[in-house]
Amino acid sequence: MKRLRAMKLPKQTNPPIFMRGQAQFQYLRDWVLPYLERTRPNELRIWCADGGAGADPYTLAMLIADYFAEDKPSWRIRITATESSGLALGEAERGVYANENLVLLPPQWIGRYFRPVSAFESAVTDPVKADVRFAACPLHMEAVPGSLPFDIVLCRNMLSECMDRERLVRLLHAATAEGGYLVIGPTETLSPRSSGSFHCEMPSIYRKRGAERSAVPSRPLSIF
């Protein structure tokens, strides 16, 4: 794992709400995954650069499982989630969450991808957990997992915490495959200087330049 220093502000820990920022996940489902399905050789590599307590990487794993459905066994899905907080990392690996944190998920996903462990908590199922690997990342460093480059890089809300934004964007750019996607926080934007190496497809979702824009999705649009 390659590491580069990047000064950060103290991290703000958010509760692990699944499907937070639904519009972003909707776009990934309806535009990005169809594009990657056509252009990738039955393998997807994804990096959640701020995996938190696991909500984002597990949401992505469920999204991919739902999209590919019966075709998923023919795909190799590798989601790497890095996190600086040991407490959050332990919670993510455990994969047990309060039911109130699942309210934004489609009801059928809760029945398919979770199992109840009590009247108030549910656990992520083993098939979903199998697609996600968690790794520790020191707070004062940005860690680039070794399996570069990535088809999707999810880095939501880290730009607002980083004191050296341009350096972080360069790191994310290097980690993103040609034609791959960078997803930042819903309220974040790339500066004109940073965005020159990316094409903005919708607010907070950027495609690395060097490939055609996503074409019309090959599957019907979904509604969460």
Residue 163 covered by a domain: yes
pLDDT value of position 1: 47
Q: What is the value of pTM for the model shown?
A: 0.85
- Alpha-carbon distance 12 to 10, whole Å? 7
In sign, the C-alpha dihedral spanning 53, 47, 5, 207 is negative
pLDDT value of position 107: 95
Tally of domains within the chain: 1
Residue 111 covered by a domain: no
- Alpha-carbon distance 40 to 198, whole Å? 19
Residue 100 covered by a domain: no
Residue 146 covered by a domain: yes
- Domain extent, residue 60, equals 2-8+20-94+129-208
Place of tokens 């999707």: 152
Residue 186 covered by a domain: yes
Residue 118 covered by a domain: no
- Write the pLDDT tens digit of every residue in 170-180: 888 889 999 99
Residue 176 covered by a domain: yes
| CATH number assigned to the domain comprising residue 166 | 3.40.50.150
